[in-house]
Amino acid sequence: MNIFKRISNIMSSKIDDLIAGYEDPEVALDALIQEMEKGIAELRTNAASCISQKKMTEKKLATAEAEVSKWQKNAIAALEKSNEDLARKALERKKNSEEERLALSSQLTEESALVAKIKTQLHQVEDKIQEARQKRDTLVIKKRAADARKKMAETSQALDTGISSSTDSVLNGFADFNKYEEKIERDVAMSEAMMELSKVSVDDLEEQFKELQSDDAISAELEALKAQLKKKK
């Protein structure tokens, strides 16, 4: 049967070898599982057919055995009645039933072996498909984790590029800011210097007026003393 050949090919193949033939391992395992499921479905159908045939053969064999026993008893009964012709006919029927029994027995042996083989293959394929499903689940987890890491790496790289660009922009802007700050500080210093110089000039003038007023006061006081002296004389 073609089903046995395909099942045998599937079972003799290693899952890793099948995965290697596909770009996407998930697709490979899905294809493998699908093929195995088809094989299992056909194998079960064939197993059911063989088991059904075996049961029919068992019934026929039981009937043939009963016929052998019956004609054996009939032959004995005929001889007991001294009827050799009837006994001979009974033995002939027994012989035919015995030949049928032997043929059915041989057929049942072959069918039993075939059913056992199909059941063994069915169990082996079920174990394989279970292995494939487990491996697929593990692979999916690994693949998704790898995709997540790849996406994170790409995002991180893009973020690093963006941060680097933003950093350069900020640093360049800050450099320009420093230039303006330096200019402003220079202008402020110049203004303060001019104010200081202006204040010095005002202070000098006030000092001169103070000295002048002081001289006037001293002169007035001197004249007052002179007047007092004249009165005493």
Terminal-to-terminal C-alpha distance of the chain: 168
CA 171/CA 154 separation, integer angstroms: 25
Q: How far apart are CA 208 and CA 7, in angstroms?
A: 123
| 58 CA to centre of own chain | 53
| CA atoms of 156 and 176, how far apart (whole Å) | 30
Contact 129, 40 (CB under 8 A): yes
Q: What is the mean pLDDT of the chain?
A: 77
pLDDT above 80: residue 7: no
pLDDT tens-digit map of 112-144: 999 998 888 888 878 877 887 887 788 778 877
Cα–Cα dist 218/224, whole Å: 10
3-state secondary structure 74-102: HHHHHHHCCCHHHHHHHHHHHHHHHHHHH
Contact 71, 90 (CB under 8 A): yes
Whole-structure pTM value:
0.50
